[in-house]
Structure 1
Amino acid sequence: MDGKIEVASYIPADSFFGSPYIDSDVWRESPLPHRHVHGGFQDTDTRFTFYFPTEDSYDGRLFHPLEGAHAGHEDAFGGPMGDVIGGLVLISRLGGYMVESNSGHIGDDIDPRGGDDPTLYGHRASVETARFSKHVAAQVYGAPPHHAYVWGGSGGGRRSPLCLEYGTGVYDGALPFMGGGEIAEHGVSTLMKGAQVMAFASMFNVQRLLRRQAAGVIDATRPGGSGDPYAGLTTHQREELANLYQLGYPRGDEFMIFSPMGQIWLWSSIADRLATEDAEYFEAFWTKPGYVGHDAPDAVAEDLLDVTTTVSRVVTGGELLSDPAYAGPEFAGLRVMASLMSAGPDLPMAIEVEGLGDGYRLGAGLKLLSGKAKGRQLYCMGHAGELLSADGVAEANLLRFRDVEVGDEIHVDNRRFLAFCYYYRHHLMAEPAFDFLRPDGRPIYPQNRVPTMSPLMGVAYSGQYEGKLLWVHHTHDASLWPPQGLVYEAAVRAVRGPEAAAERFRLRWTENAEHIPPAYLPSAPDRATSTWLIDYLPVIEQSLLDLVAWVEQGVEPAGSRYEFRDGRVVLPASAAERGGIQPVVVATVDGGERADVAAGTAVTLRVDAEVPPGAGTIVAVEWDLDGSGAFADPADVVGTPTAVSLTRTVSYPTPGTRFATARVWSHRDGDRDAVHRRIPNVASVRIVVT
């Protein structure tokens, strides 16, 4: 693995890219011993990092994880993101070396020479990077990798199928998870349109309109709840919540509607673009019939925010994580965002201001009116009281509040965001999810031209590729909703037909999984997030191994069966019928999902769990009896059965509502002591003690 890497003989296959260069080639011991190579391509903004583990852990594979959101960093999986999704340690377990690229751009800005070309950022920069890495790997290991795989979640899930579609001869397989997008002919080079823009607008509106009724909506859809999330809502609130469900928001994950995490990033990344491309809409919303801002101004009046004030403090990501002033629960979401930032702890990501009043802060535009950062436009990504975190595009994304000083004047204005909250009504896409807003093919509301996405999201899918693609999607993802998991399957079937599609494509559902693992999500006051959501990383690792076996040995992976109706994905109740790799878990209390008992009265908890055929055995069952998420009550499981039925008796000495949760783990090899690839699922019941 020693010796200087030769790059002069490499000729890029894509003529856009200049000659490759390496500006750093060092040995690193963390997170495991590896040769760390960094460089880029001349005359471009494309940068890359290659991670080459020692030969004793290398089995000849290339793994190329793609960063989420818009990408723009070539060290995400070697940094905080690696801790979330596995990083180099995961890749080493899979017998590979790791490739990262910044997808052709730095931060949220575009390559000045590449301009708005979505093919560059969607796939071409990644494909050329992976191709060059093989040239380097041949020198490091004595031969190029025999197989190559591209994978990623969220924005990485959006782009990894594009890399397979347009990287013939470079990649052999892809594993996107939590992806989505529109479909077009192969070879398209135009900017894509994204239904998630409209879907998020609906969700942001429900966040805003129902924030004071959130507790009732959430409780209604929990186990043992009323089942009626509309109870106590006004007509307008009911309409907006119903529309959100019709667009595909996952039932049972209502808590995340009112605990916004990264979804608001999409608004900050496209707000300037929408204001330019769709200026007519943002004017019409307030001035023309058919739009809420004109017809029903009371629906937005109390939330209006239009204030000019001054900055009283500038706060870095490191200060959010370390200053005791920000240790309270109201700052939890801001701390999570700070912990995952690739830019490091010294970047000023938030400010404190005074005198904002009661207006709605999330999504508000923040424009600096004085000081060194005068003219910079950002958008509120999160807030707690008078503390506002923010993001933007291009320079604003890279700098945030750098060069902002105490006393600088700032304009806080949310009129554009309030108009965006109703955007979905007036920008209908051709997808069936929007049909309820156009009965008999006629739109209910005035229509505007559907805008294009940022070029950093790449182009539309075609479903046309060589190799194998295993798509993983989650049932409770509040960022890329279940209907987005169906788009690519339809594209592949349209290109190849159902039978031929099965030779190259599988869809695998993960039940009770969100966009990020529960450790990074806020918890409800009475119930830890880990009692209804799971960490999906073991599913991804097992699925990557299954993809490798499919490509290299012809072992077909298990897909999942499902139905799609009323805007939702419904999985079969039995493991044998459902398929996939995750155990199916059902919990009851005294035979139902709810028990109302007096203090000290014993109740019987039961869990029935079964793994799908070929998915291994159940290796652990554990109970959390009080909603704390501790799971401190393990059951005795021998590790060999494919199905278990277990009961236990419990009583609660004091009044209150408790959620008891069973968490079940399976493992492909039946290894009770395994640390990795332990596949979880959960089920809960409600006990009301009086």
Structure 2
Amino acid sequence: MRFTPTHRKGIGAAAATLLLGTGLSTAAPALAASPECATIDSAMQVTADCLDPTYRTPVIDSETDETLPTPHHRVRGHFEGTNIQFTIYLHAQQDKAQWDGRFFQFTYPVVFGPGQDTSKADDRAIGFALSSGGYAVQAGNASFALGYRHAAAAAKFAEQVAAKYYGSNRPIYGYLYGPSGGSFQTIGAAENSTGVWEGYVPMVQAIPQPTSYNFLGRAAAQLILEDKADEIRAALLPGGSGDPYATLDEAERTVLREVHALGIPWKGWEYPDFLLGRTGYQSDQLDQSRPLANDPTYVDDFWSADGYLGTEDSPLGDRIRAELAEVGDTVAHRWNIANRFYYRYLLPAADEGFVGLDQFRHPDGTPLYPQRAVSIAPYTGGSAGSASGNTAFDGSVNGKVIAVANLYDTDALPWHTDWYRQRIEATLGDAAAGTYRVYFNDHADHQDAPVAGERAKHLVNWYGMAEQALRDVAAWVEDGVAPPASTQYEISDAQVLVPDNAAARRGIQPTVDLTAQGKEITTTQVGQSVRLKAKAQVPPDAGKIVRTEWDLDGDGVFTDAPVTRVGNALTFQSTVTFDEPGTYLVALRVSSERNGDPTAHFALAQNLDRVQVVVTPSR
């Protein structure tokens, strides 16, 4: 929904009453003179000057001067009558001159464990904001059903605090960002607020879906392909055969084709334990033994009615009936198998743009399989609706948007970002080019830092690229400096494909091309040296290579190799020998920085490449 603001964002008269130790009173009065925010189609339209009655009274609980992660002044508070808390991180007294009239606000709707608090920013968010000329704001609690309203109320109150603290009445520019569930909140804010934030960075973007086919597809793969995971992975590794189907039977081939046509990245097989839910937080989400409350008859139809996989005369149908018989025909196991294929039987309209589900349609758009007599919740329903504040997801954004998406993401599928890009372009038309960018990152998945252990062998920390996107959106808003071009890509079978060359790929991530003895795979003997050579390139206008790190034995631990000069296209060489026989995946990781600063801690864009070295015993 687009609407026109009546005022440019500024500091209201109520700010004058907010004076306490640095200036502020313990409770701010309700802004009685402000009109209440309007609501359109269940989504509140928040402006700089309207009042959200739920968050009418902010209360400051404490103010402290902190030294970690960097010196800053911290203000903690809450909204009276709610469980929403907020924290404002301002520059330390001696560093006030570093403030450039902006703030950065992270948002996320879920608390995963004890001791976590979504109203407190982590060290990285604090350090990034302060080093980027902004103060940081964060608000939240443990509920998924938050939307963007609490974040907007915290942002507006923080502006009053900041104006007094910094002693300035200059305009303040705000930038909201959040990953996954936080991207729901970010898009909700972009479509339903004006004058609160001027720019938005949704990261690893989630979209409202007719079913959770991204997780269900992985659950289907877990059921059918778990025993073949290592073989599929080996085929897709650098130097592998490139044919993941080679050792599969027909039932296994059917599932492998199907789940990747849903859009689950092929690159996810580099870490099959996560893809298949054998490790990490997804293990519970891939468990499908719970009955569907909104469709209780589905399980009986799946196992008895024509057209369903449970009765299908096919190798896959035979396989799942064998799985049922092997474990036992219990209620839980009947659901556990049936639910994994539910995405086949609840399709949205053919013109809704869900390309990963087109595989289940005839050429005329009609479904291949029986469809459930269950209404698909509107896109604003379910968790997407509660987290987004019931936004329409129609692309009617009010401000600049740079989306950050990752090509190894098996949770928020990469093509989902393209789904929303098309809505922005349909709504804004030619204006979309001056409003929206998308940066796809290779060797990056759904999770953020730290990238350690098994993940570090093939993944980079993508948060630096999100930080650069935030700086770019700020420059776009405040100075009219257009950011680098979007990543160039195409969609094929619901997979996002990007060029290998940095100049053709665009975006902001460097590319790396590593070879061993001039190839992706080489064979050597114990004690013999292997020649490694790499070329790293940065896309146009995206910075320079400032750091290189080698992982010569493939254990995920990288060793710094100082760069003798920075540049946008550099070559690197090294040699390695091995003391033990085995197969090693040798890697080179590079980092670029927009201004070529090798001392930078934030906004580093990383990528890596790997080669396979097979070491045999010496003769």
In which range does the TM-score fall when normalised by the shorter chain? 0.7 to 0.9
Residue identity opposite 2:122 in structure 1: G
Question: What residue in structure 2 maps to residue 321 of structure 1?
Answer: none
Partner of 1:141: 166
What is the aligned counterpart of 2:503 among 570, 576, 585? 576
- Does the alignment pair 1:551 with 2:477? yes
Check if 1:281 corresponds to 2:281. no
Q: In 2, Cα distance between the equivalents of 1:471 and 1:288? A: 43
Equivalent residue for 2:382, pick from 428, 449, 453: 453
Which position in structure 1 is the counterpart of 2:44?
A: none
Is 1:95 aligned to 2:133, yes or no? yes
One-letter code of the match for 2:580?
Answer: T
Alignment of 1:404-423 (within 5 A): 413=332, 415-423=334-342
Letter in 1 for 2:440: W
Distance 1:45 1:77, change over 3 A: closer
Which consecutive residues of structure 2, in runs of 5 or more, have no partner in the other structure?
Answer: 1-21, 37-49
User: What residue number does 2:407 align with?
Assistant: 475
1:65 pairs, out of 102, 106, 114, with: 106
Displacement of 1:304: 5.8
- What do residues 112-147 of structure 1 show as CA deviations (whole Å, max 9, x unaligned)? xxxxxxxxx333333233233333433443446611
The number of aligned residues is 548
Matched, 1:224 2:239: yes
Instruction: Give the direction of change, closer, same or farther, for the CA distance of 1:241–1:303 in structure 2 (3 Å limit).
Output: farther
1:298 to 322, 335, 342: 322
Q: How does 1:125-164 map to 2 (within 5 A)?
A: 125-143=150-168, 146-164=172-190
Where does residue 45 of structure 2 map in the other structure? Answer: none
Identity, in percent, stands at 31
- Give the deviation of 1:76 after TM superposition: 3.7
SS of aligned partner of 1:465? coil
Return closer, same or farther for 1:26/1:481 CA change in 2, 3 Å cut-off: same
1:167 is aligned to 193
Match of 1:214 in 2: 229
Q: Which residue in the other structure is 1:684 paired with?
A: 610
CA contact (8 A) 1:10 1:135 kept: no
Question: Does residue 488 in structure 1 map to residue 503 in structure 2?
Answer: no
Deviation digits for residues 32-71 of structure 1, max 9, x if unmatched? Answer: 43232221243x5544333334352433223221115589
Matched, 1:435 2:358: yes
Return the letter of the residue paired with 2:107. Answer: L
Partners of 1:285 and 1:293 within 8 A in 2:
yes
Q: Name whichever of 230-239 and 200-209 sits farther off.
A: 230-239
> Which structure 2 residues correspond to residues 118-517 of structure 1 after superposition, within 5 A?
121-143=146-168, 146-181=172-207, 193-194=208-209, 197-254=212-269, 255=271, 256-258=274-276, 259-263=278-282, 275-295=292-312, 296=317, 297-303=321-327, 413=332, 415-429=334-348, 430=352, 431-440=354-363, 441-448=365-372, 449=374, 450-451=376-377, 452-454=381-383, 455-458=385-388, 459-497=391-429, 499-517=430-448
- Give the 3-state SS of the residue equivalent to 1:671 in structure 2: coil
CA distance in 2, matches of 1:640, 1:493: 37
Closer, same or farther in 2 for the Cα pair 1:14/1:208, shift >3 Å?
farther
Which SS does the other structure have where 1:501 is aligned? helix
Corresponding residue for residue 59 of structure 2: 22
TM-score, L = length of structure 2: 0.81
Counterpart AA for 1:51? Y
Q: Is residue 2:515 matched to residue 1:588?
A: yes
For residues 565 and 620 of structure 1, the distance between their equivalents in structure 2, rounded to whole angstroms, comes to 34
Question: Do the aligned partners of residues 414 and 24 (structure 1) sit closer, same or farther apart at CA in structure 2, a change above 3 Å counting?
Answer: farther
1:406 matched residue in structure 2: none
Question: 1:9/1:567 Cα in 2 relative to 1: closer, same or farther (>3 Å)?
Answer: closer
Note the C-alpha offset of 1:299. 3.5
Letter in 2 for 1:177: M
Separation in 2, partners of 1:572, 1:650: 29
Q: Look up the SS of the partner of 1:279 in the other structure.
A: coil
- Paired AA for residue 292 in structure 1: L
* Contact 1:7/1:21 (<8 A) preserved: yes
Give the superposition deviation at 1:665: 1.6
Conserved? CA contact 1:197–1:266, under 8 Å: no
Call closer, same or farther: CA 1:286–1:101 in 2, change over 3 Å: farther
- Measured in 2, the distance between the counterparts of 1:9 and 1:481 equals 43
Cα distance in structure 1, aligned partners of 2:504 and 2:543: 16
Q: CA deviation at 1:669?
A: 1.6
Does the CA contact (< 8 Å) of 2:108 and 2:179 recur in 1?
yes
Q: 1:642 aligns with which of 548, 556, 568?
A: 568
SS at match of 2:226: coil
Check whether the contact 2:102–2:174 (CA below 8 A) recurs between aligned residues: yes
Query: Which string of whole-angstrom CA distances, capped at 9 and with x for unpartnered residues, describes residues 652-672 of structure 1?
Result: 343210111111121212122
Letter of the structure 2 residue corresponding to residue 589 of structure 1? A
- The structural deviation recorded for 1:101 is 2.5
Alpha-carbon offset, residue 289 of structure 1: 3.1
Q: Is 1:562 matched up with 2:489?
A: yes
Q: Look up the match of 2:14.
A: none
Please state whether the residue corresponding to 2:450 is helix, strand or coil: helix
RMSD over equivalenced CA pairs, Å: 2.9
